[in-house]
């Protein structure tokens, strides 16, 4: 008795061969000359007339034969696919992570869906923003945000000052240069907030997603190892179509 994963492998080859056979059949019946034949003989008007040999062309392709050959090829594909689809209705497995059953008795088709979705979830999680490692963060229970300790900085204002380069004399006024001095006038106290994830949390999420991905793949392999019953659908279908 075959297993589901073997039937799936066989189906791929059957699809390829059938596609080639159907394409070849289509080409055959699209050649009018191959489907046509003729037979003709010549009889002179009198006994002294010219004698010509008979001419004939045989029919090379018979549409009914091509149709039955195509049906034979399709019958194999119909049977293999039916065997796979019937088995998919019963092939199931549990998704288990670290001994804990996350999802019980999952059909193989849904396992394939889960596998694809978890690939997208993993890609999304990997791109989540992470807290700046240059800062020291703590969780603020009042806002549920991450925050830093207050950082105190000085606020200054530029105040003009005069610098006397040369004192005044009887003949010349004083030479004064104006410059600006930063004078402290207050203090800023800055606290940064963030809604990003900690690196630890991100790594935990990635580990969980990857464990679940592996569990789903294992469950799919287990479900695909289910033994299957051969189904015979093609004869019934083409027995009716060509009957």
State the pLDDT confidence band at 124, using cuts at 50, 70 and 90.
very high
Taking alpha carbons only, the member of 26, 23, 36 closest to residue 62 is 36
CA distance 219 to 48: 90
Is 51 in contact with 42 (CB distance < 8 Å)? yes
Model pTM score:
0.66
Percentage with pLDDT > 90 across the chain: 57
**φ and ψ at residue 169, rounded to 5 degrees:** -125, 180
User: Domain-by-domain residue ranges, the chain?
Assistant: 1-91+230-243, 94-134+199-225, 150-190
Averaged over 82-98, what is the pLDDT? 92
Lowest mean pLDDT of 38-42, 119-123, 175-179, 214-218, name the range. 175-179
How far from chain centre, in Å, is Cα 120?
Answer: 8
């Amino acid at each position: 008795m075959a297993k589901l994963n073997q039937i799936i492998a066989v189906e791929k080859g059957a699809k390829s061969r059938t596609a080639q056979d159907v394409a070849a059949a289509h080409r055959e019946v699209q050649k009018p000359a191959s489907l046509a034949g003729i037979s003709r003989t010549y009889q002179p008007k009198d006994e002294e007339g010219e004698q010509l040999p008979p001419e004939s062309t045989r029919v090379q392709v018979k549409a009914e034969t091509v149709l039955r050959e195509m049906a034979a090829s399709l019958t194999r594909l119909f049977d293999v696919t039916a065997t796979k689809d019937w088995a998919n209705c019963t092939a199931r497995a549990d998704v288990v992570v670290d001994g804990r059953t996350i999802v019980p008795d999952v059909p193989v088709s849904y396992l394939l869906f889960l596998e694809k979705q978890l690939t997208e979830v993993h890609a999304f999680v990997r791109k989540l923003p992470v807290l700046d490692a240059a800062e020291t963060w703590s969780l603020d229970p009042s806002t549920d945000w991450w925050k830093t300790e207050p950082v105190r900085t000085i606020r200054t204002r530029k105040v003009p000052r005069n610098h006397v380069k040369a004192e005044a004399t009887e003949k010349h006024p004083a030479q004064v240069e104006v410059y600006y001095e930063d004078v402290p006038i207050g203090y800023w106290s800055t606290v940064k907030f963030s809604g990003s994830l900690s690196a630890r949390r991100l790594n935990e999420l990635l580990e969980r997603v990857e464990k679940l991905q592996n569990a789903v793949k294992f469950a799919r392999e287990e479900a695909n190892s289910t033994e299957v019953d051969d189904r015979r659908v093609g004869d019934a279908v083409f027995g009716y179509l060509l009957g």
